[in-house]
Structure 1
Amino acid sequence: MRHLLLRTWETTAGTVSADAFSVAELERLRLAAVDSDRIERPRFCAQDAALLADGLHYETRIAERGELATRESHPHDFFNALVWLRHPRLKRALNARQVADIARVGPKQRTRGQCALTHFDEAGAIVWLAGTDLLPAWDAHDWSTLFGAQRAGWGRSIAVTVFGHALVEHVWNGHDLPVAKALAVRVDARAFAALDVEAGSMVARWPDAEARVAAAIAAGELLADPQELRPLPLAGIPGWHVDGAQPAFLREAPCFRPLRPGRRYPAPYAP
């Protein structure tokens, strides 16, 4: 059976395959997405010598030319394309910040903000919190409480939107202990209750809430430093792993790392 994370992306991918796709197929998906929500995405363009001859940085090309360099039949680029299709506002915000910092420090240096943006882009998730009851356990890396004693809270007061394309690729490659770099976001309990929370406590997309998060990223209020991101071992969430409810698994699996001495997390973002 395909992993539930991959099943949530099948509606976006349609019949296009991660390891055997053409840029033309992605373009058809892009045009359909724009027609559906009227939000522009950069054009998918084959990454070849002719495209790269402009000498532009990857991020700058997106911002200035609206062109996304894409390697055909390359899974990493495929899942990046799917994220652009599903979460265009968030991707635009990341791109705008990257381009601003490239202009400020040059293409060969990286700011703390750029590191945070890249971590979120590659392995990020948004964890929607309709309350604070699970937060102390998460902040303490008390995985036995977060995924054991308080397991029933998943899907009821806490849910996750997986955003990072490398994280999805990791699962596609058969790795079943993924760890997301997560933004914690407080949301209204009534709005949360109205969500369509899928298996594994996943929210595929939440456009209204994502727009507020994207605005905060674009303004530099979020992802100014990698230390804002909390590790979240997804294998503990109900439905993610066959052993996810076993106490020994939560103690011993390598994804469940203890809290590093002195590590502190910021309060969840409250839009």
Structure 2
Amino acid sequence: MRYVAPTREALDARVLGRHPLDTWSQAYGFLGGASWPSIEVLNAHRPASMQQRFVAQTPQLLADGLHYEERIAVTGAIATRERNWHDLFNTLVWMRYPAIKQALNLRQVAEIAVMGRRERSRPQCALTHFDEAGIVVHLREPAMVEAWDAHDWETLFRGYRQAWLNGDTTVHVFGHALLEHALTPAKLLVGKAMVFLGGSGDVLDACAAAIDSGQVLNDPLELRPFPLSGLPGWHDDGDTADFYRATPCFQPVRAGRIYPPARATA
């Protein structure tokens, strides 16, 4: 069933103070209140490193005949529907993670050049899944990856609770559709994660470089399911063992399912 976000008027403002929307609502004043930000306001908040710009999606814009991704690569114009949660979160992700978004765009355009505009390759599906529901996770303990490989959710989240809380691990919620789904408080969010282990480099730079070089996101099965509700403090029942055993978002690993090894940052 297609997800329908609450209207701005019906939004429960309390969700903006909860994970994962709390940091986004604090950094950008566009999520709360009665008014939608204009395209001009969004463009004024772009980081200096972002060359692309947001452009209202109108019939006139779409008449250029370009694919959405091609338009970004050729003209720098990111078609954006106004008064739309999905596209608003997309603009915010562009602002926060421009290098990763640009790497995804260039890979998509390269695949379109091979496949055409109607067919989709396995890499295109992987790139889209990450764009919509992606999470970048940086771990320090190899044993955490082993628990994740086995879908041992109680060990991963509850057994390493302190590591999640003290900054030894970092989680970047990247997917704009995932952020949109967070507008509904009862949803148990499961993202599609790329995991990095150890290293002293910047995990976001490493992620962008890996995407740009084609080392990752060549098949959707590379991505690991990551139930965000398992993170300490992200769900009211997260401190109980039964939560990880009975809640639907914590699925057992499928027979024969093997994930690629965690990548190093540098």
Normalising by structure 2, we get a TM-score of 0.88
Q: Secondary structure at the match of 1:126?
A: strand
Residues of 2 paired with 1:101 and 1:137: CA distance?
34
Say whether 1:20 aligns with 2:31.
no
Residues 179-204 of structure 1, C-alpha deviation per residue, up to 9 Å, x if partnerless? 0100011233xx59xxxxxxxxxxxx
Residues of 1 paired with 2:74 and 2:253: CA distance?
42
Residues of 2 paired with 1:187 and 1:11: CA distance?
29
Residues 113-133 of structure 1, C-alpha deviation per residue, up to 9 Å, x if partnerless? 111111100000011012212
Contact 2:138 2:203 in 1 (8 A): no
> 2:5 aligns to what?
none
Q: CA RMSD in A?
A: 1.7
> 1:240 aligns to what?
234
Residues of 2 paired with 1:248 and 1:177: CA distance?
15
Contact 1:41 1:85 in 2 (8 A): no
Give the letter aligned to residue 142 of structure 1: D
Residues of 2 paired with 1:56 and 1:15: CA distance?
29
Residue 223 of structure 1 deviates from its aligned partner by: 0.7
> 1:67 aligns to what?
77
Say whether 1:184 aligns with 2:195.
yes
Contact 2:104 2:127 in 1 (8 A): yes
Say whether 1:223 aligns with 2:217.
yes
Moved >6 Å (runs of 4+): none
Normalising by structure 1, we get a TM-score of 0.87
Contact 2:123 2:217 in 1 (8 A): yes
Say whether 1:78 aligns with 2:94.
no
Say whether 1:160 aligns with 2:176.
no
2:135 to 114, 125, 135: 125
> 2:109 aligns to what?
99
Structure 2, unaligned stretches of length 5 or more? 1-13
Residues of 1 paired with 2:236 and 2:44: CA distance?
37
Residue 16 of structure 1 deviates from its aligned partner by: 5.5
Contact 2:123 2:219 in 1 (8 A): yes
Q: Secondary structure at the match of 1:122?
A: helix
Residues of 1 paired with 2:142 and 2:235: CA distance?
25
Residues of 1 paired with 2:196 and 2:247: CA distance?
27
The 5 A counterparts of 1:186-225 are: 186-188=197-199, 191=200, 208-225=202-219
Residues of 2 paired with 1:148 and 1:12: CA distance?
29
Structure 1, unaligned stretches of length 5 or more? 193-207
Give the length in aligned residue pairs. Answer: 248
Give the letter aligned to residue 246 of structure 2: E
What percent identity do the matched residue pairs reach? 49
Residues of 1 paired with 2:31 and 2:132: CA distance?
21
Residues of 2 paired with 1:118 and 1:127: CA distance?
18
Give the letter aligned to residue 253 of structure 1: T
Q: Secondary structure at the match of 1:242?
A: coil
Say whether 1:55 aligns with 2:65.
yes
Residue 15 of structure 1 deviates from its aligned partner by: 4.4
